[in-house]
Amino acid sequence: MNKKNMAKLFRAAIMGPPGSGKGTISERIAQSFGLQYLSSGHFLRESIAANTEAGMQVKTYVERGMLVPDHVMTKLMMPRLEQLSCQSWLLDGFPRTFAQAQTLNGLYQLDMVISLNIPFETLKDRLSDRWIHPGSGRVYNMGFNPPRVQGKDDVTGQDLIQHDDDKPEALMARLRHYKDVAKPVIDLYKSQGILHSFSGTETDRIWPYINSLLSSKMHTKPLHACQSQAP
């Protein structure tokens, strides 16, 4: 792809501790601005569910709320980014470490990094209340978005489960790790002048600020940059 086409692409990442609303906000961004949305946690859970070799390798890390080794993560994410070479994208949960950020930096220039700062107590409450319908991936929150019948999926009536990494022991480990590991990544993006931080306790209050920031940077829905190359 030549430089002219590169200029049409918009590449962004969203960072924040577990439960900070990365997934919720990413879905809104993807819907409003037409970016491809890639979630590292989703890819990991997908490979665990499919029992692939990579899935077996990462299962214990994810269940314990520990970071998956950098080389495994980059091997999981990079092929997916290569498939999107003509498209604008938003990464949720990657990069998470300085090593991952350096690998990404060597291949792609990010235009924007959104960092979510949410108080610890808010995170703890949100995640310990999160339940999932394993068949569909539907997410409920016992406070924010409860199912009609406690413990049952609204559509199928099947049992809801909690992710192992949302259970109290794993959760504490995830929150503790986040701060230490994220700092050098945040500093890197700050030094590149692309970091935008948002603080608050409610996603609905943070969202309008993110929406207006993106609206000011992206005037139209991003094009599929390769379409214009068709003979």
Q: Which of residues 179-208 bind ligand G5P (CB under 6 A)?
A: 202-204
- Give the type of residue at 171: L
Q: Which of residues 140-179 bind Mg ion (CB under 5 A)?
A: none
CB neighbours (10 Å) of residue 226? 13
CB neighbours (10 Å) of residue 84? 15
DSSP tag of 228: G
Outline where DSSP puts E strands in 45-141. Answer: 89-92, 112-117, 130-132, 139-141
Task: Identify which range of 21-29, 96-104, 110-118, 162-170 contacts Mg ion by CB under 5 A.
Answer: 21-29
**Which residues lie closer than 8 Å to 108 by C-beta, 6 or more apart?**
11, 81
Cβ proximity to ligand G5P, 6 vs 176, nearer residue:
176
What's the N-to-C CA distance of the chain in angstroms?
15
Cβ proximity to ligand G5P, 44 vs 210, nearer residue:
44
**Which residues lie closer than 8 Å to 60 by C-beta, 6 or more apart?**
66
Nearest residue to ligand G5P, scored by beta-carbon proximity: 41
- Does 66 interact with ligand G5P (rule: CB under 6 A)? yes
Q: How far is CA 195 from the centre of its chain?
A: 16
- Does 23 interact with Mg ion (rule: CB under 5 A)? yes
- Give the type of residue at 151: G
Cβ proximity to ligand G5P, 210 vs 225, nearer residue:
210
With tokens 């603080």, the residue in question is: 199
- Does 98 interact with ligand G5P (rule: CB under 6 A)? no
Q: How far is the CB of 118 from Mg ion (least distance, A)?
A: 13
- Does 11 interact with ligand G5P (rule: CB under 6 A)? no
Cβ proximity to ligand G5P, 154 vs 202, nearer residue:
202
In this structure, the dihedral spanned by the alpha carbons of residues 113, 117, 123 and 126, taken in order and rounded to 10 degrees, is -70
Q: Which of residues 124-163 bind ligand G5P (CB under 6 A)?
A: 126, 130, 139, 141, 143-145
Q: Per-residue contact track with Mg ion, 32 to 71, x per CB under 5 A? A: ---------x------------------------------
Residues, the chain:
231
Rounded Cα distance, 150 and 169, in Å:
23
Q: Which residues contribute to the site for ligand G5P (CB under 6 A)? A: 16, 18-24, 40-41, 44, 61-62, 65-68, 73, 93-94, 96, 100, 126, 130, 139, 141, 143-145, 165, 174, 202-204
- Please give the residue ranges that form the binding site for Mg ion (CB under 5 A): 22-23, 41
